[in-house]
A and B are shown apart, each in its own frame.
Chain A
Amino acid sequence: MERNEKARKGLVNSNTTQKIMAFGSLVLLLVVFSIASPNFFKPENLIGILLATSVNGILAVGITFVIITAGIDLSVGTVMTFGSVIAAVIITMWGLPIWLGVIGGILAGALCGCASGFSIARLKVPPFIATLGMMMITKGLNLILSGTKPVYLTDTPAFANIALYPLIFGIPAGVIVFFLCAIVASIILSRTVLGRYTYAIGSNEEAARLSGINTRGWKIAIYSLCGAFAGVAGIVMAARLNSAQPALGAGYEMDAIAAAVIGGSSLSGGEGTILGTVIGAFIITVLTNGLRILSVPQEWQMVVTGLIVIGAVYLDILRRRERV
């Protein structure tokens, strides 16, 4: 009995510590870099950080759903680019209005997610393989649809506003899109049936199934949602670059997964929050930005980010071990 009591306390503590730790390390990074370089804590740089986080942040928000189900989506990076390419094709090649391009891009992402979800839930292909395949498929499609060249959106200058228009206090629209995505995702995860089943499936899929939940259908929905967020990220990306860059995208999934994991999502499922993921995404950008300002070469930035990811997951493992 006493042991149980202790375990309970340990759990509560470690759970809150995890959240505080993620947020605390973000604050710590901000403080350290501000002291180390006078150029860090300046409005232009901070806005730069926000904008730099937005694309990865949106991807990470989407992938958080998948990770909570104990799945993985390796295709979000190239699916994001697929969204950009589709939007650019609709707007420039077909000459349709911008809003149609935006919707088309997001739907394209959702469709890719739906296809991955189908092969995972129905065909029982492991998520790692199904989404690896989707990554290759979209990588190829991106090059095919764009004719292997960037598709420039210079004829429709309004499109760039989606990412760059200084909406409130000079904060660019892309950042606002990111925050809106995070808020919507947070509501979905905590207030809707979809969110509830996301946790249920990740925690114990068999128990969820025995409770009469259509776990296959919901999994397809969850992967579609992740794909839709990748589509949104693709739109923001295209707006930032004022073009769709078909060769871009591979590798983005790793930053997104890293953000979710640093933010406390567990790859074994059942755990994770949007707030945590958002903090995780910021930690990654602040780190790269700060190191760059301190003139640390880019190759070393990667090394440090890698160490941080491993460290974060190791802390997570320690936390879990404590509980058992």
Chain B
Amino acid sequence: MQEETDRMSQNNLVVMEGIEKTFPGVHALKGCKFDLMAGEVHALVGENGAGKSTLMKILAGVYRKNSGHIYLKGKEIEIENTKQAQTMGISIIHQELNLMKHLTAAQNIFLGREQKKGYPFLVDDRAINEKTKNLFDMIHLDIEPTTRISSLSVAKQQMVEIAKALSFNMDVLIMDEPTSALSDTEIEDLFAIIRKLRADGKGIVYITHRIEELPSICDRVTVMRDGEYIATSAIQDITLDQIISLMVGREIYETAHPHGDTDRGEVVLEVKNLQRGKKIRDVSLKLHRGEILGFAGLMGAGRTEVARAIFGADPIDQGEIFVKGKKVNIRHPKDAVRYGIGYLSEDRKQYGLALTLGVDTNIVLASFRKFTNKLGFVKRRKMNETVHTFVDKLAIKTPKLDQLVKNLSGGNQQKVVIAKWLTRNCDILIFDEPTRGIDVGAKSEIYKLLNELADEGKAIIMISSELPEILRMSHRILVMCEGRITGELHAGEATQEKIMQYATLRKA
């Protein structure tokens, strides 16, 4: 506490206090605080959805806070929009870069500030190219200002974003997951620039998932969890394991598993050496009958990509897939469905449901041929019987069978998708974030349903970013990081810490 007041008296660049933010249905930030000194790199870490990006987007003017105070160099400020934040010297580099790929580097950096002196209608490309050259020299970036963004690598594009931030004479630079798409050498280049900026007295907020890179770049680290501030520490005073357990908050969740270690059934799905660019690297796995296989990892680790590749939604470079021992060639989702594989996308509304159609139509959508006669007319009665069975079995709460799906709650929508694949007789079900956007009560119903399906002999892959969910549901857990499977854990031995360790295990 003493240290805290000392720090306040030092000239803090940014202090954020009591920041509250709610989105419809979500309390994203609960009284968060954060502070940043000039000449430091301050890392902000936490699990997916902990609120790191939200907090920083408030500082950068992308979102407005509901309440709380922000001080810049000791003066309280209100930030209305990004432009205003920029003129105050606060710049953010988003995870998804905000560049116009058809324009040149210089045109991007000076967009909105390219007018010729005295002739405000004309653009002064010579001047902005020159200024850009100077900016690039400052950060030792070897790019011509006239290069189109689309011809630059992601790493170089990021450097252009940094140059853009510098062009506003920024004091505060927020970087959201800057290294997630970079190779090791590119990361070293980026770190070199960050160190240079720090030496120049800039304050840098560094949001990352990669715990292991913290010691080499940051001075202090702040941990957030579930929209709350957890702790701040100088990086030399804390171990990576301590950071991970602060992120995970071990005391909150039980890791007990409802299933005993059952005898595993036959292997129904086997994947060998699956490869797809940099997204999927040499992934092999086996899935047994009656098993729930959890797929853990951080965002962008390649879990969804593996699921989509198995389902035939994306082309693969190489690899073999066996269903019930037989080698299969899946080149399109319709092949996968024929072999009894169903995929329940994390984005139900976009990929899983026809929102403006009824519950009944959605349930039979993937197996329409079963319900039509030779002329293509729908056999109403047979269809209604089937729909009725599944609505009862899965306890889908709907006033009538032809209720439009968009009027159902998230949990019931998810059940409709499940019913769709069950109608199609799928034995292998891949759930991608099955409980995303579903409230707590409905979640446990979905869990119950998954357990029942597994008991009936279905084989289930469950992708989830929520560790408690993974631990609670899975018989076996595969952890992915950067397109590789970095660890396999059995239900008995798995803990959140172990999973996080594997999930941040980057291989050269």
Contact = CB atoms under 8 A, between A and B. Distances in A.
A202 B123 contact: no
A200 interface: yes
A270 B107 CA distance: 13
Interface residues of A, number: 27
B111 A200 contact: yes
Contact of B112 (A7, A194, A206, A213): A213
Given A11-B150, A212-B112, A207 B99 contact: yes
Interface in B349-406: none
Given A193-B122, A193-B123, A211-B111, A270 B83 contact: no
B100 A270 contact: yes
Given A1-B183, A12-B151, A323-B150, A204 B99 contact: yes
Contacts of B115: 193
Given A193-B121, A212-B83, 12 more contacts: A1-B153, A11-B151, A12-B151, A192-B123, A193-B114, A193-B115, A195-B123, A199-B100, A199-B107, A204-B101, A207-B99, A212-B112
B245 interface: no
Contacts of A191: 122-123
B98 interface: yes
14 contacts: A1-B153, A4-B153, A12-B151, A193-B121, A196-B107, A199-B100, A200-B111, A203-B100, A203-B101, A203-B103, A206-B98, A213-B111, A213-B112, A270-B100
A210 B121 contact: no
B98 A196 contact: no
Given A12-B151, A207-B99, A270-B101, A193 B111 contact: no
- Chain B interface size, as a band, is 20 to 34
Contacts of A204: 98-101
Contacts of B118: none
Contacts of B123: 191-193, 195-196
Interface in A245-280: 270-271
Interface hub of B82, B100, B101, B114 (most chain A Cβ within 10 A): B100
A127 to B, nearest CB: 19
A167 B331 CA distance: 63
B100 A192 contact: no
A8 interface: yes
A308 interface: no
A1 B182 CA distance: 11
Interface string A308-324: 00000000000000010
A275 B127 CA distance: 25
A177 interface: no
B142 to A, nearest CB: 14
Nearest to A9: B151
A191 B83 CA distance: 25
Nearest to A7: B151
Contacts of B121: 192-194
B120 interface: yes
Interface in B60-101: 82-83, 86, 98-101
A209 to B, nearest CB: 9
Contacts of A291: none
A129 interface: no
A46 interface: no
B151 A8 contact: yes
Interface hub of A195, A206, A270, A271 (most chain B Cβ within 10 A): A270
Contacts of A211: 83, 111-112
Interface in B100-144: 100-103, 107, 111-112, 114-115, 120-123
Nearest to B278: A3
A199 B99 CA distance: 12
A29 interface: no
Interface string A1-41: 10010011001100000000000000000000000000000
A136 to B, nearest CB: 28
B136 to A, nearest CB: 18
A103 interface: no
Contact of A210 (B98, B107, B150): B98
Contacts of B82: 210, 212
A176 interface: no
B100 A200 contact: yes
A8 B153 CA distance: 9
Contacts of B107: 196, 199-200
A208 interface: yes
Q: Which 8 A-B pairs have the closest CB atoms?
A: A270-B102, A203-B100, A212-B83, A203-B102, A207-B98, A211-B111, A4-B153, A204-B100
B100 A207 contact: yes
A194 B83 CA distance: 20
Interface in A180-234: 191-196, 199-200, 202-204, 206-208, 210-213
Nearest to B120: A193
Contact of A271 (B99, B102, B114, B151): B102
A212 B103 CA distance: 17
A211 B115 CA distance: 14
Contacts of B151: 7-8, 11-12
A206 B62 CA distance: 12
Given A4-B153, A8-B151, A11-B151, A196 B114 contact: yes
Nearest to A68: B102
Nearest to A210: B82
Nearest to B62: A210
A234 B76 CA distance: 58
B111 A196 contact: yes
Given A196-B123, A203-B103, A208 B150 contact: no
A67 B103 CA distance: 16
Contacts of A206: 98
Contacts of B103: 196, 199-200, 203
A213 B100 CA distance: 13
A162 B486 CA distance: 75
Contacts of A208: 100, 111
B105 to A, nearest CB: 13
A210 to B, nearest CB: 5
A61 B112 CA distance: 25
B104 to A, nearest CB: 10
A137 B197 CA distance: 58
Nearest to A11: B151
Interface in B139-189: 148, 150-151, 153, 183
Contacts of A207: 98-100
Contacts of A196: 103, 107, 111, 114, 123
Nearest to B277: A3
Contacts of A12: 151
Nearest to A12: B151
A8 B144 CA distance: 14
Contacts of B102: 199, 202-203, 270-271
A211 B112 CA distance: 7
A12 to B, nearest CB: 7
A204 B112 CA distance: 14
Contacts of A4: 153
B239 to A, nearest CB: 34
Contacts of A11: 148, 150-151
Contacts of A7: 151
A212 B83 CA distance: 6
Nearest to A323: B150
Nearest to A10: B151
A206 B100 CA distance: 9
